[in-house]
Amino acid sequence: MFKNLNSLLILFILVSCSLENDEINNKSSSLIKPNFSSSQSRYDCVLYKDKSLNSLEAFIPNFVNKAKDLLPSATLEFLFNQEKKIDNFSILYLDNQENFNVSTLAQILSEEGIDEVASCQLRDEIMLSSDIFIDNISINFTSFEVEFLNCEFNEGFNFGTFAIEVDTFLNLVRKKDVKYFAKFQQINNESNNFTWINYLSSAEEKGSLYEGWLEEEDSIKIQESFNAQSLCKSSASYKGYKVL
């Protein structure tokens, strides 16, 4: 399985202690819930053949300015594929749950002419999103490397079973001296499916983290811990830019 996933698949969950899958631990861990502070929607887009990134760059400023007025608490990110020819991109819209309004975003995109630049499709699901920072210190990247992992908890496991180990994982990342944070996302608290998103500040720091990790003696234990808790069926990496 690991041959088919990006190497950060090994990274995101979780190190050190072996898991005890007994009834008491499962009951107590089920009480631990993620702190969903925002909601997220996503548009996946394809540039028209007669358009280029220059066309998209011309679209973005007015789009951002209008979004800033109508969605003042929103975060907007543009994600681009890692292929030589960049013709696919995604738009992530995040906002606190009280102000989240995907209809307003759709209106802004339409009024500013996204349909003249690219064909975009809104994903059906709206994800609840929780930020996970080292030492709870927030990081604000304007550009970043990002990786999405689509996963499912194995039977008997949930957010609580690996949240107990998150601090250990973050401590290890801290030792690598890289700028990193993650997002944990689900459709709802009861879902067995989740998305884990890795954020790193640059391709150089991503490479540094990978290289250092591959030299760790505990990598086999980490793989065993990962396999015990969840199965990730797909992963995708992008170059990202925060525009709002």
pLDDT at 113: 97
Same domain as 228, residue 186? yes
pLDDT at 229: 86
**Mean of the pLDDT values across residues 130-154?**
93
DSSP lists the bridge partners of residue 76 as: 93
Higher pLDDT, 107 or 171: 107
pTM: 0.85
Same domain as 181, residue 95? no
Q: What stretches of the chain adopt beta strand conformation (E)?
A: 38-47, 75-80, 88-96, 118-122, 127-133, 143-153, 180-186, 193-200, 230-242
Q: What is the total count of domains within the chain? A: 2
Same domain as 150, residue 30? yes
pLDDT at 6: 47
Same domain as 44, residue 19? no
**Domain end: 71, 100, 122, which one?**
122
Same domain as 167, residue 100? no
pLDDT digits (tens, 9 = 90+) for 183-193: 999 999 889 99
Same domain as 149, residue 31? yes
Same domain as 208, residue 97? no
Same domain as 172, residue 66? no
Same domain as 226, residue 138? yes
Query: What is the rounded end-to-end Cα distance, in angstroms, of the chain?
Result: 36
Same domain as 43, residue 32? no
Domain encompassing residue 72: 39-122
Q: Is 72 left (phi over 0), alpha (psi -120 to 50) or beta?
A: alpha
pLDDT at 209: 78
- Is the pLDDT at 9 greater than 60, yes or no? no
- Is the pLDDT at 220 greater than 90, yes or no? no
Q: Taking a C-beta distance cutoff of 8 angstroms, is the pair 147, 236 a contact?
A: yes
Nearest by Cα to 158 from 15, 27, 4, 1: 27
pLDDT digits (tens, 9 = 90+) for 10-60: 444 433 334 444 443 544 455 678 899 999 999 999 999 999 999 999 999
Round to whole Å and give the CA distance between 189 and 184: 11
Same domain as 108, residue 45? yes
- Is the pLDDT at 2 greater than 60, yes or no? no
**Domain end: 122, 148, 176, which one?**
122
Same domain as 140, residue 107? no
CATH number at residue 64: 3.30.70.600
**Domain end: 77, 92, 122, which one?**
122
Q: Taking a C-beta distance cutoff of 8 angstroms, is the pair 92, 185 a contact?
A: no
Q: Is 86 left (phi over 0), alpha (psi -120 to 50) or beta?
A: beta
